[in-house]
Amino acid sequence: MSAIDIVTVTLNPAVDQTLQVPGLQLGQVNNALSLRFDAGGKGVNVASVLADLGHACAATGLLGEDNAYIFENQFAARGIADHFIRMPGATRINVKLNDPQTGNTTDINMTAEEPAAAALQLLRAEIAALSAGPARVFVLAGSLPPGVPADYYATLTRDLKVAGKTVVVDTSGAPFAAALAGAPDLVKPNRHELETWLGRALPDRASVIEGARALRAAGPANVIVSMGEEGAFLLTDQGCWHARPPKVNVVSTVGAGDSMVAGWISATLQALAPDQALRLATASAAARVSSPEGALHRAGLAQLAAGVQVEVIEI
């Protein structure tokens, strides 16, 4: 493998158990068409998409050794360098009930066990070692397991910025709020997460832009606010843009935000202009929801990107 370009960090990964349940009715007996198990977690998802796009990736974090083979198989299949710290026990399992008729997914997420202090120390050492290498982008993604301080990402961001790395943070709640002080290069909340951070509703386009401005003023250099089929806004020091995705057949919305992050990273490594970075990020999300197994990322992303409508809000 060529030199690593991107490192993703996932402290709270999960095995995604996905069932396709047409016409899902909660509280009723339902018939599932299929069942699959995938290595999940936001950083794992980002690494998988970037690998499909041809980038050299490493993935690290905390992983239960009992079912680590699910992750190991996926990393091997996609050529992702495995730098996860193994812990006793099993990685948690999250159940996803996807209704292909509506494209909606019901998530049932398990709570992880608190990691041992020794495992966290080993992870910090692993990240420090990776930051001494050629990787240019570090992605800190997903929730934090119980017992890990909310400012964990903020501390990592500061250390990685000192090392000259580009840092992307994609999380929510208290870890998201704390991470802003580290001045990451990109954060990507969805509309609900931005509303939660602000403590108020964002009912229209103008209020979303205003909220994104407030978020960017809190520290991050670039802000993407994702809004599903309504597209996404990007704010940078050069201006503001809105992208509307092309019409696609939505199979599942799982991982759409992670794919958007991966698309932005890919564009950044190619030194694309902000509007083109947003175009690629939006196309990457569309590719994910219409082809969850990655076929459109490996072939067809350019065609999807051509169908993304990008509008300049201000320059």
Going by C-beta distance under 8 Å and a sequence separation of 6 or more, which residues neighbour residue 193? 172, 176
Q: Give the phi and the psi of residue 261 in degrees, each rounded to 5.
A: -60, -45
Mean pLDDT for the chain?
Answer: 95
Q: Which helix (H) or strand (E) segment is 13 a member of?
A: none
Domain ranges of the chain: 1-170, 185-315
pLDDT class for 281, splitting at 50, 70, 90? very high
Q: What angle do CA 239, 244, 250 make, to 5 degrees?
A: 145
- Can you tell me the distance from the alpha carbon of 220 to that of 105, in angstroms, rounded to the nearest whole number? 30
Cα–Cα distance, 201 to 279 (Å, whole number): 26
Mean pLDDT of 284-288: 94
* Euclidean distance between CA atoms 44 and 94, whole angstroms: 14
Residue 279 has pLDDT above 90, yes or no: yes
Q: What is the rounded distance in angstroms from the CA atom of residue 265 to the CA atom of residue 138?
A: 10
- In terms of pLDDT, which residue wins out, 152 or 294? 152
Contacts of 58 (CB under 8 A, 6+ apart): 4, 6, 7, 8, 47, 80, 81, 82, 83, 130, 135
Cα angle at 50 between 47 and 54, to 5 degrees?
A: 130
Confidence of residue 315 (pLDDT cuts 50, 70, 90): low
Nearest to 180 by CA among 151, 204, 159: 151
Q: What residues act catalytically?
A: 258
Residue 170 and residue 74 in contact, taking contact as beta carbons nearer than 8 Å: no
Question: Can you spell out the DSSP letters for 14-56?
Answer: EEEEEEE-TT--TTS----SEEEEEEESHHHHHHHHHHHTT--
Give the ranges where the chain is alpha helix by DSSP (H).
42-52, 68-78, 117-131, 152-162, 173-179, 191-198, 205-217, 256-269, 274-290, 295-298, 301-306
Whether the pLDDT of residue 1 is over 70: the answer is no
Q: What is the mean pLDDT of residues 231-239?
A: 96
| Alpha carbon distance 32, 22 (integer Å) | 7
**CATH number assigned to the domain covering 1-170:** 3.40.1190.20
Q: Are 128 and 159 in contact (CB under 8 A)?
A: yes
The reported pLDDT for the residue numbered 231 is 94
pLDDT for 300: 78
CB-CB neighbours of 108 under 10 Å: 10
Sorting pLDDT into bands at 50, 70 and 90, what band is 292? confident
Residue whose token pair is 């990451």: 184
Q: Residue 10 pLDDT more than 60?
A: yes
CATH of domain 185-315: 3.40.1190.20
* Residue 91: CA count within 13 A, CB half-sphere: 28
Lowest-confidence pick of 138-142, 183-187, 225-229: 225-229
Model confidence over 23-73: pLDDT tens digits? 999 999 999 999 989 899 999 999 999 999 999 999 999 999 999 999 999
